[in-house]
A and B are shown apart, each in its own frame.
Chain A
Amino acid sequence: NAGVMQNPRHLVRRRGQEARLRCSPMKGHSHVYWYRQLPEEGLKFMVYLQKENIIDESGMPKERFSAEFPKEGPSILRIQQVVRGDSAAYFCASSPITGVPRTDTQYFGPGTRLTVL
């Protein structure tokens, strides 16, 4: 059973460009979480999604950031018009359908390191 997959592992963008980060959850997992980790910081929750639904986006910046988890295919975190402050590691995690999603064990992907020049 493959783990959570994220790609690309490293992404370099210039200011003003768009960044698209992809996450494929573990097989059988229906919930996806996105986190951002700044240098020397812990993970900051951004959003969690079920297939075709955003369940909680309380940690998502109001502008430029969006996330989706379509019926088919990976979850996408999209950052429009990137700025230098968006440089960070972005981690995706998934969890199975076993009760309240926020309480399930999350299985993390290896992360995408975004660098904005």
Chain B
Amino acid sequence: AQTVTQSQPEMSVQEAETVTLSCTYDTSESDYYLFWYKQPPSRQMILVIRQEAYKQQNATENRFSVNFQKAAKSFSLKISDSQLGDAAMYFCACELAFGKGTKLTVNP
């Protein structure tokens, strides 16, 4: 079974700045997938980015990128040029296991 830990319950960032959300996980699998999901106030979960563990290259999706450190079982999310619409809960997931989330506030 996988477990996921997000150590930052809340984070804030100034508009246009960069912020990094932390995530660590534990799994006994050698091949697995990692995800970051965004949950805005509307509560609809939206996929932000997906990483396959056997790929060494960090996934990137426009302003969102990850720092995947397989040996350390770390999977942080970097949001560049933060926008007001980025404000939401962000959940890290290792397959079916989700962390408790980080609430991101974007200040104008």
Contact = CB atoms under 8 A, between A and B. Distances in A.
Interface in B82-108: 91, 93, 95-101
Contacts of B47: 105-107
A89 B97 contact: no
Contacts of A1: none
A59 B18 CA distance: 36
A63 B50 CA distance: 34
Interface size class for chain A?
Answer: 20 to 34
Interface string B1-15: 100101000000000
A58 B97 CA distance: 12
Contacts of A93: 45
Contacts of B33: 102-103
Nearest to B91: A42
B44 A48 contact: no
B95 A111 contact: no
